[in-house]
């Protein structure tokens, strides 16, 4: 068993599951979406991106692209959340929460594509 591949797959699947956990719930209700889970999803997604930089294959490039998309959407969502809570004075209203959860949904889709590519890469390995 290759420990590097295990760690690689672990972080990819962890990014997907953390993002999915945050995404579930009423889209506009801030009580259904935990800020710490969002932060964990963002951090793990960034770790995945760093890990994917070492892969020089075509599938590796596609997985890096999906990771960059997920990172961008999660960072923009974090910016909206931070602006709503710290700068706007309104707080996290349903409109802002809907935007954050929608961006998280886009990142979730990118994570799903990344896991599908991981499965395809694994199926292509020859013994």
Distance from C-alpha of 51 to C-alpha of 111, rounded to nearest angstrom: 14
User: Containing domain of residue 10, as a range?
Assistant: 3-124
Distance from C-alpha of 114 to C-alpha of 121, rounded to nearest angstrom: 10
Contact criterion met (CB below 8 Å) for 77 and 99:
yes
Q: What is the pLDDT along the chain (127 residues), one digit of tens a residue?
A: 789 889 989 999 999 999 999 999 899 888 899 999 999 999 999 999 999 887 788 888 999 999 999 999 999 999 999 999 999 888 888 999 999 999 999 999 999 999 999 999 888 887 6
Distance from C-alpha of 70 to C-alpha of 60, rounded to nearest angstrom: 15
What lies within 8 Å, CB to CB, of 110 at 6+ separation is 66, 67, 69, 70, 73
Instruction: Provide the domain count of the chain.
Output: 1
* pTM summary value: 0.90
């Amino acid at each position: 068993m290759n420990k590097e591949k295990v760690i690689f797959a672990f972080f990819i699947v962890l990014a997907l599951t953390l993002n999915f956990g945050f995404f579930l719930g009423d889209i506009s209700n801030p009580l259904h979406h935990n800020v710490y889970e969002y932060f964990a999803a963002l951090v793990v997604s960034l770790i995945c991106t760093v890990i994917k930089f070492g892969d020089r294959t075509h599938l590796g490039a596609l997985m890096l692209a999906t990771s960059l998309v997920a990172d961008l959407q999660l960072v923009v969502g974090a910016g909206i959340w931070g602006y709503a809570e710290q700068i706007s004075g309104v707080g996290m209203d349903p409109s802002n929460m809907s935007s954050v959860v929608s961006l998280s949904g886009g990142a979730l889709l990118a994570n799903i594509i990344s896991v599908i590519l991981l499965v395809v890469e694994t199926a292509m390995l020859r013994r």
